[in-house]
Amino acid sequence: MQSIKRTTVFADEDVLRKLREIAKRENSTVSEMIRKALREYVARRRPKRSPLSLTEIGRSGRKDISERAEELLGKGFGR
């Protein structure tokens, strides 16, 4: 396990009560449930790779592909 640092979290009584019930049902501790929830939250918020733009997808560096399309397709280009 990674090192753990103590912190204070303020939460509504109702949320804490429900969290205690969940922890008891899952035979866990409230602290472990909070750590798990934080890990899941952070994982969902990770920056995602930005998608390639349409102009970047087809960039091969070759300028003669459209002129040689028939020749290249006959050789299995694009399979």
Residue 16's contacts (CB-CB under 8 Å, 6 or more residues apart) are: 30
What is the rounded CA–CA span in Å between residue 41 and residue 44?
A: 5
pLDDT digits (tens, 9 = 90+) for 44-68: 988 777 666 656 666 667 777 778 8
Residues 54/45, Cβ–Cβ less than 8 Å? no
Residues 33/26, Cβ–Cβ less than 8 Å? yes
What is the rounded CA–CA span in Å between residue 79 and residue 77?
A: 6
pLDDT at 2 over 80: no
Rg (CA), the chain: 27
